[in-house]
Structure 1
Amino acid sequence: MFLATTILYIDRAALGILAPDLQKSIGWSEEQYGYINTAFMIAYAICFLLMGSIIDRIGTKKGYLLSIGIWSVATAAHALAGRWIGFAIARFSLAVGQSGNFPSAIKAVAEWFPKKERALAVGIFNGGANMGTILAPLIIPGLVLMAGTWRVAFLWTIPISLIWMVLWFFNYNRPGQHKRVSKEELSHINSDSESTESSERLPWKAILPHKGAWAIAVAKFMADPIWWFYLFWGAKFLNEKFGVNLKEIGLPFFTIYLVSWGMGILLGGFSSRLLKRGSSINRGRKLGMLACGICAIPVVFVPHTDSLWLAIALISLAAGGHCGWSANVFSLMSDIFPKKATASVAGFGGFCGAVGGAITAFGVGKILQNVGVDGYAIPFLVAGCGYLIALLLIHLIIPKIEPLKL
């Protein structure tokens, strides 16, 4: 699952890395590039509503194969695109497939690990997200320059995906049906399971009346689009502002995502340290989110500096703030809601984040089309202020973080 998530983020990041060169060779406008990313986000939002129930219905084994099969075909379809509309269709299809990765992986963890070990298992496979974003800028530019065509960037992971699918098909089963699982292992896996666990999962309609769900919706709606902006427009900005080309993009992007990974771990643990020292959940969690928001503020100066590495440092700091923010938001879900509701809350939050991403992608394309490179000042201003505005709204919605009894 770690490998699948790594492949997912490499495939997702490829277009953003190649965007400056593709814009010149394909000839799409800033507005059309915005449409391409809007198509991805719309599909991602819609499929947050669908893929979880589909995977529950057909099972983890078939569900994961369906997910990676769709996104592998969609990734290869990018290589066939010759106009912006072709990329938009490919990105829409990519989002359909990729929306099934996390529901499949989380369901597999629930099937194979007792509750007390699931957080660690999720942390391990979710590390593929960081690994993918770190590896993509190191591998893709070199492959493209060596092959002499951008199309290889959307084809080289296909054999890896096929190997993964074969291994998954022949090796994955539920523990009770797996030949290599002993009775002792099966007993350990089921040691803290409850027969009512699956039936207790709450639908959206059960969590929407509660203010906590809307606080989380605000946190995702305001913050997730900022990360998408860095992922989809980061390379274009560095190219247009500082002249960073495909050959040179690897080190700056590697630096941004490596630093953000490390900072995310530190900032994600900051509120936990406050709680261990006796802070209330309300104070500790909100101070942790405040620290993340403060880290993002200096990014507003990125469009106004003439130093490439100062810009990279400020984006790295802000991206690290985002990673810490995301960790705190996931913790906030379990702070407020019982375990039986966290899946529904996470799905609702993810849907809101994707809707925000679609609106942002459309807006950024329009701004850059009409204003040009100076228009980057607007999304960077939002990226610097968005977290603190979100935190203020969260505080107004839930002045005191308290667990709900559902």
Structure 2
Amino acid sequence: MRKSYPAAPARIQSPARPHIAGSRLRWYLVLIILLAAVTNYLDRANLSIANSTIAAEFGLSSFQMGLLLSAFLWPYALANLPAGWLVDRFGPKKMFAWAAGGWSLVTIISSLASGFGLLYAMRVLLGVAESPFFTSGIKVTNAWFAKEERGLPTAVFNTGSQIANAIAPPILTILLVTLGWRSMFVVIGIVGLVVLLVWLKMYREPEAHEQQDLKTQGEMATGDTPGISRSWRSLFKERSTWGMIVGCFGIYFTVWIYLSWLPRYLEQERHLSLMNTGWIAAIPYLAGIIGVLVGGWISDALIRKGVATIRARKTVIVGGALLAACAVAPVPFIHSTFLSVLLLTLGYFGAQLPSGVIWVLATDVAPPGSVGSLGSIQNFGGFIGAALAPVLAGLILDRTGSFTLVFLSGAVMLLVGAIAYGLILKDPIPEMAGQRNE
């Protein structure tokens, strides 16, 4: 018999609520986070765009290049565990600022690399520096938006990664061709420092009375406000946590095959020039922008129509993963460049439908006060998969010289992600450790 939990308190109408609901500042904050996400992902994508150039300059094999491409991902995944707790503890303003300043400086220093060693070390530090960013973002939307509103703003700033992925191939390729890869790194780092200054000037927490109004209505509070909290270690004992870890692992695995190896695939398998690769690689990423927004909108719309919150989020996540798997699996067997790019575009659109929803799901599943921790734990699982993807793809390419098994492994992992979110994740995590749904 399933144990019942008390219903959330009825929404209380107060003078504070209309003010926060109508505040333009919260959307300005979402815009700043969006801009930061664009620069954040440009810092990640620069190595993928310069893949062939750096490999030739340093004499690297595909496996060594895979190690470089994943050097960011392992520390990023592991650093997410303490980063979530730090965001819950110190709040999004401080941790966002630390992250943006750190990743910008590391990117600039990377331009000084003269071989594999320093570049690898800087990619490791980049992973550590970026780890608090997206968790800080969901803490902001969690504080400023009601539950049925959070899907869209979370999706909006998550489109930053897709915007960056879309503009990275043409823009970074132009910088690479005209200035060289080192100057390309410096330009991206400077842009990040500018975003940091804007954030420090603009950000503030909701007023104290608005925070109290949100808590009264059963909403979550920011990291600086007391709330019901679980230690991040105890969260690992929950079934729903593992559904999120495994599910995110499967989806991010395939996303990072795209991010790490799509330009190389277009050059090697489709015999496109470097410049043409830059433009054509942008097409799936443009579809990804639409996918993130559509996914967030659908999940919020389902909730407004009365669908249970977690079911609404899971519908988008599972549906997107299944769509992506069906599109990616046939790619190795298609001879037409046009059709292969079309399928890759559809696959990436499907893989990005869950992108913003995965993050907002943490606010629906976690106890108040543990949103950052659970979001980071989920992201930890995702980026373990992301870290494995470039290395495994590099090994496959060295052994077979073909992308066939690369795309098939991506399709399988998407199915794993759909199953984990669909069947393992069931209920919200209870507020007290040891409390169970029966």
78 and 243 in structure 1: CA distance in 2 versus 1, 3 angstrom threshold: farther
In the alignment of these two chains, the number of paired residues is 391
Residue 256 of structure 1 deviates from its aligned partner by 0.8
Residue 263 of structure 1 deviates from its aligned partner by 3.1
159 and 362 in structure 1: CA distance in 2 versus 1, 3 angstrom threshold: closer
Q: Tell me the equivalent position of 2:327.
A: 298
Question: Alpha-carbon deviations, 1:176-207, whole Å to 9, x = none?
Answer: 6xxxxxxxxx6446532468953422222333
Residue 291 of structure 1 deviates from its aligned partner by 3.0
Residue 381 of structure 1 deviates from its aligned partner by 0.3
Residue 324 of structure 1 deviates from its aligned partner by 1.4
Which amino acid is the alignment partner of residue 48 of structure 1? N
Within-5 A mapping of 1:306-325: 306-325=335-354
319 and 394 in structure 1: CA distance in 2 versus 1, 3 angstrom threshold: same
1:162 pairs, out of 173, 176, 193, with 193
Within-5 A mapping of 1:256-267: 256-267=284-295
Which amino acid is the alignment partner of residue 76 of structure 2? Y
1:383 partnered with 2:388: no
Q: Tell me the equivalent position of 1:213.
A: 241
Question: Alpha-carbon deviations, 1:234-280, whole Å to 9, x = none?
Answer: 11111111222331123212211111222343355556666666767
2:184 pairs, out of 148, 153, 158, with 153
1:35 partnered with 2:67: yes
Question: Alpha-carbon deviations, 1:77-111, whole Å to 9, x = none?
Answer: 23222323332112111111111222333444556
Question: Alpha-carbon deviations, 1:316-372, whole Å to 9, x = none?
Answer: 111111111334544654554444444332221111111222233332222222222
Q: Tell me the equivalent position of 2:253.
A: 225
Residues 232 and 374 in structure 2, CA contact (< 8 A), matched pair in contact too = yes
1:85 pairs, out of 117, 129, 152, with 117
- Percent identity at matched positions? 26
Residue 139 of structure 1 deviates from its aligned partner by 1.2
| Structure 2 unaligned spans of 5+ | 1-32, 432-438
Question: Alpha-carbon deviations, 1:4-62, whole Å to 9, x = none?
Answer: 11111111111112212322233211110111123211110121022234455555444
Q: Tell me the equivalent position of 1:234.
A: 262
CA separation in 1, counterparts of 2:363 and 2:313? Answer: 12
CA separation in 2, counterparts of 1:169 and 1:343? Answer: 21
Q: CA RMSD in A?
A: 3.1
Residues 151 and 356 in structure 2, CA contact (< 8 A), matched pair in contact too = no
Q: Tell me the equivalent position of 2:162.
A: 130
Which amino acid is the alignment partner of residue 155 of structure 1? V
Q: Tell me the equivalent position of 1:21.
A: 53
Relative to the length of structure 1, the TM-score reads: 0.84
Deviates more, 1:226-235 or 1:325-334: 325-334
CA separation in 2, counterparts of 1:363 and 1:16? Answer: 16
CA separation in 2, counterparts of 1:175 and 1:286? Answer: 30
Which amino acid is the alignment partner of residue 140 of structure 1? L
1:357 partnered with 2:386: yes
Residues 268 and 323 in structure 1, CA contact (< 8 A), matched pair in contact too = no
Which amino acid is the alignment partner of residue 63 of structure 2? E
| Structure 1 unaligned spans of 5+ | 177-185
Q: Tell me the equivalent position of 1:344.
A: 373
Residues 155 and 296 in structure 2, CA contact (< 8 A), matched pair in contact too = no
13 and 215 in structure 1: CA distance in 2 versus 1, 3 angstrom threshold: same
CA separation in 1, counterparts of 2:300 and 2:145? Answer: 23
Deviates more, 1:222-231 or 1:137-146: 137-146
